[in-house]
Amino acid sequence: MQLNDTIVVTGGAGFIGSNFVLDWLAGSGGRVVNLDLLTYAGNPANLAALTGDARHVLVRGDICDPELVGSLFREHRPRAIVHFAAESHVDRSIVGPEAFLRTNIHGTFVLLEQAKQYWSDLDEESRRDFRFLHVSTDEVYGTLGPDDPAFSETTPYAPNSPYAASKAASDHLVRAYHHTFGLPVLTTNCSNNYGPYQFPEKLIPLMILNALEGKPLPVYGDGANVRDWLFVKDHCSAIRAVLERGRVGESYNIGGNSERKNLDVVGAICDLVDELRQDAAMGSRRKLITFVKDRPGHDRRYAIDASKVGRELGWNPAENFEDGLRRTVRWYLENMDWVEGVRTGAYLKWMEQNYSERLS
């Protein structure tokens, strides 16, 4: 069996996945078979620009379904699998961890098992060219003190949330399938992403929309938790680089070189919304900042050392945080139809469940 110039993307209707699919096809990449279960965070509207584009095939399905996954591989003969599909919200993993174990661990196992069978049937040249790229998170490394060095690819795993533990388990499975079976895998561990199409339960879009509407801006604890922020378009370019030039079996940390305290991020959002949607009656939106009860086990600091991907593959983030945040705020303000389309009853129920007690 020989390969086509096709890739299979899992979770390609979600935030990062849809940005990757759009970026891939805009860059004249080959055909994309997009497998997504279209749960609350998977949104076909993210891919509206591809309507009628024969290079994009959206398949609604579950990565935990081995018959479906195997049939897609055999039918489309992809040269690579790019695996984004995951439950990814820490707060949701605290309330309901089982879904995270199913999707992130068992789903990854199913993909690996079906990929191994598919890869084993390829001719020798195609076996050399095939890649399985697993997209993971810096949260597998745990938390850092204020003066600790940033996470590198050799930092021991120490996940502190059910979400992080499920992603750590999936990382280990990917590594094991390479070392045991020879499957040509690559793993990327990224820092916090932001940008267009992010579901508005996450910090940056939630704060943009609440600030716009004059609602409280709930900041966990003292707001001093630190994250490294990566513009989603930069993440997409890094994945391309790893897929094209990464060494088989290796992991690559991807970061934005933009450590910020959560409180500083929220303040910057307030200032941008004030500038772009002036409201004299509301005044400064910083007054909407409301400190709420912290979530259990909240990691204090993440930071990524991305020197390996820069040194080996020549990748560095192109977007600084200030410009990327401005682009993001402007996108949400100019795409309120998309926002209202994802603010379903399920979204409102989650916001009530997660924030009502904290705000009270």
163 labelled catalytic: yes
Q: What is the DSSP string of 47-102?
A: GGGGTT-TTEEEEE--TT-HHHHHHHHHHH--SEEEE------HHHHHH-THHHII
Q: Helix or strand or coil: residue 256?
A: coil
Q: Which of 36, 87, 91, 139 is catalytic?
A: 139
The DSSP code for 285 is: G
3-state helix, strand, coil in the chain (%, to 5): 50, 15, 35
Q: Which of 187, 76, 79 is nearest to 127 (CA)?
A: 79
264 labelled catalytic: no
Q: Where are the beta strands (DSSP E) in 96-152?
A: 131-137
Query: 10 Å Cβ neighbour count for 264?
Result: 14
Distance CA 192, CA 23 (A): 19
- Which tokens belong to 328? 């993001």
- Which tokens belong to 332? 């949400």
Q: Helix or strand or coil: residue 255?
A: coil
- Decide the pairing of beta strands 226-231 and 131-137: unpaired
Q: Which of 163, 177, 252, 355 is catalytic?
A: 163
294 labelled catalytic: no
Q: Which of 36, 91, 138, 171 is catalytic?
A: 138
Angle, helix 15-26 to helix 232-245, in steps of 10 degrees: 60
Residues with a catalytic annotation lie at: 138-139, 163
